Structure 1
Amino acid sequence: MGGRDYFRTHRTAERYDCKTNQWSWIAPMNEERYNASATVLNDKIYVAGGSFHISIITSVEVYDPDTNRWTYVAPMLSGRAALSCVAFHGCLYALGGYNETPSELSTEKYDPAEDTWTEMPCMNSKYEYVKAEVIDDTIFMIADPIYKQCFPTYVACFNDKENRWYETADMNVRRFH
């Protein structure tokens, strides 16, 4: 979904069929974007944020495989690229990334039932190229610090009952991208 090559930014999307080992086109997204993040929530694919040329995108699109259509949902509160989205407890979380402002980017939570975004607690610093997964009912995030030469790879987990981020032990090897 989306992406960029040397000449242009794409809005095209493809689906892989593991039974036939073939890729096929699906409906294109409404916007061209790269450095976006996608996740599955309620049997639909959500693509959030990203970049188009030099602009950072706030828009979020959802793909319904039953209708082969992309539709917009409420935009994020902050434009962000190089973020990570993860589905957790029936909501979509947008984590980290970068944008045009030097301020920290908080975590945002999207509630599809209400079509609204809510600002969540900030992580301890500004991080880009975030990777996140849900393990044992907890969001784990691994991120590149913005100032890579100064800090190790950051690992944290989110406790939704306490509504806060916890740092974990540093990884043994510093990794990014």
Structure 2
Amino acid sequence: MSKGKGLDGEEERANMEDSDGEAKRKLEKKSSPSSSGIGCSSVVEPQDADYNTPSLSDELEVLILARVPRSLYGKFSTVNKRFLSLIKSGEIFKIRGEIGLKEPSVFMLASGETSWWAFDPQSESCRNLPILPSDTCFAAGDKETFCAGTHLMVSGKEIDGLVIWRYELAKNEWFKGDSMKNPRCLFASATCGNYAFVAGGIDTGSNKILNSAEKYDPETKSWDWLPMMHQKRKMCSGCYMDKKFYVIGGKNEEEENLTCAEAFDESQNKWEIIPDMLSDMPISTFQSPPLLAVVNDELYTLETSSNELKVYIKSSNSWKRLGPVPIRADFNKGWGVAFKSLGSKLLVIGASSASNTGHGMTILTCYPDPDTEELQWTPLDCGKNSSSHFIWNCCVMMA
């Protein structure tokens, strides 16, 4: 009996093991990748636990996305509809501005090229902008550019007259914008945060030299008058420094070179003359307007006759030499050279001084220091070095 009971017990345990094994196999089959993974029409819900990751709050998600490098926005927008909406609406750029996060983009049009392109100095990558839908007169003529917030403004002449085309970074599209209150060419311009200032130039209707000035607001896409400058001038340069809009150099109605400058203080709503600001600068016939750039509220210029960098000494109204720049600004008396501020760095684009022929674009940056005796210039590779070194238009956007 004991032996029989022993056999019965073993059979019972075997039957239990068979039953458990069969149940286990069924459960494994039910939850295997072949039945619940990619490519299967029926997906089995989790049986024992909730594997869903808790979602982030909208506010936290936006703050995280705002910190994504801008060069990756194109990729993120293809996989995230919410991020695409934030970009298209421009909201992500407003948030970046509020948290003090801005990256530079360099927009350029080089000789021989039909479309604008954008260069990202941080990733050293570039991309073509959409084709600007202007007429042939605008495409072939001289143009002037400036940035206001996330708008790239390109002013030029079409068959029907002077127009301004506006490239909106958020939408990645060109729009024909509102013209200035006083349409002009050969004017000074400067960017101040989300705003842009223009002053002087030539009235495209009467051909008279102007002393009028205006301010552009990208939020309203409109222009407002500023007080008149003291001096009429054309072919002048502009910059923004110490919370003031500076207009420097140029020519007057008698075609005389002007060495004075003017600074507009918006808090006082008036212009102040700065006499002899360019008195010790060599000025030659047919040279470009002064090549100016402001970094950390210090004004720098690239002298077109000597290819030297200079810094403006405010206390003495004079200029200090900081050494040569490895770019041939003297090739065409400053024309075709881009000299800009790039956040905390200087940016210069043109023909390398190491080349006798001057062919091929060279892009260099440096951290300027008014107290140094020798600056270190760093070359950047944008993959466009086979392009012409002659830059028709160049503008830096911080967004």
Alignment partner, residue 230 of structure 2 = 77
Alignment partner, residue 220 of structure 2 = 67
Q: Does the 8 A contact of 1:37 with 1:83 survive in 2?
A: yes
Quick one: distance in 1 between partners of 2:244 and 2:193?
Answer: 9
Bigger strand fraction: 1
CA 1:163–1:109 in structure 2 vs 1: closer, same or farther (change >3 Å)?
Answer: farther
Deviation at 1:94, TM superposition (A): 0.7
Quick one: distance in 2 between partners of 1:98 and 1:156?
Answer: 22
Deviation at 1:126, TM superposition (A): 6.9
Deviation at 1:164, TM superposition (A): 1.2
Matched, 1:135 2:268: no
| SS of the residue 1:77 aligns to | coil
Deviation at 1:19, TM superposition (A): 3.9
Bigger helix fraction: 2
Structure 1 counterpart of 2:273, from 108, 116, 119:
119
Alignment partner, residue 147 of structure 1 = none
Q: Deviations over 1:26-83 (max 9, x none)?
A: 3221112111122122521111111125321111111112222211101222112221
Amino acid of the structure 2 residue aligned with 1:159: I
Quick one: distance in 1 between partners of 2:293 and 2:224?
Answer: 25
Quick one: distance in 1 between partners of 2:294 and 2:167?
Answer: 24
Q: TM-score, normalised by structure 1?
A: 0.79
Amino acid of the structure 2 residue aligned with 1:38: S
Structure 2 counterpart of 1:16, from 161, 167, 172:
167
Matched, 1:47 2:201: no
Q: Which moved more, 1:96-105 or 1:110-119?
A: 96-105
Q: Does the 8 A contact of 2:237 with 2:249 survive in 1?
A: yes
CA 1:44–1:136 in structure 2 vs 1: closer, same or farther (change >3 Å)?
Answer: closer
Amino acid of the structure 2 residue aligned with 1:49: G
Quick one: distance in 2 between partners of 1:86 and 1:55?
Answer: 23
CA 1:138–1:8 in structure 2 vs 1: closer, same or farther (change >3 Å)?
Answer: farther
Q: Does the 8 A contact of 2:203 with 2:210 survive in 1?
A: yes
Alignment partner, residue 29 of structure 1 = 180
| SS of the residue 2:299 aligns to | strand
| SS of the residue 1:140 aligns to | strand
Alignment partner, residue 107 of structure 1 = 261
Amino acid of the structure 1 residue aligned with 2:216: Y
User: Structure 2 regions of 5+ residues with no counterpart?
Assistant: 1-153, 336-399
Amino acid of the structure 2 residue aligned with 1:24: F
Amino acid of the structure 1 residue aligned with 2:313: N
CA 1:23–1:163 in structure 2 vs 1: closer, same or farther (change >3 Å)?
Answer: farther
Quick one: distance in 2 between partners of 1:78 and 1:120?
Answer: 11
Q: TM-score, normalised by structure 2?
A: 0.38
Alignment partner, residue 92 of structure 1 = 245
Amino acid of the structure 1 residue aligned with 2:270: T
Alignment partner, residue 313 of structure 2 = 159
Quick one: distance in 1 between partners of 2:169 and 2:291?
Answer: 25
Q: Does the 8 A contact of 1:81 with 1:99 survive in 2?
A: yes
CA 1:18–1:67 in structure 2 vs 1: closer, same or farther (change >3 Å)?
Answer: closer
| SS of the residue 2:184 aligns to | coil
Q: Which moved more, 1:23-32 or 1:55-64?
A: 23-32
CA 1:143–1:73 in structure 2 vs 1: closer, same or farther (change >3 Å)?
Answer: farther
CA 1:31–1:158 in structure 2 vs 1: closer, same or farther (change >3 Å)?
Answer: same
Deviation at 1:135, TM superposition (A): 2.1
Amino acid of the structure 1 residue aligned with 2:202: S
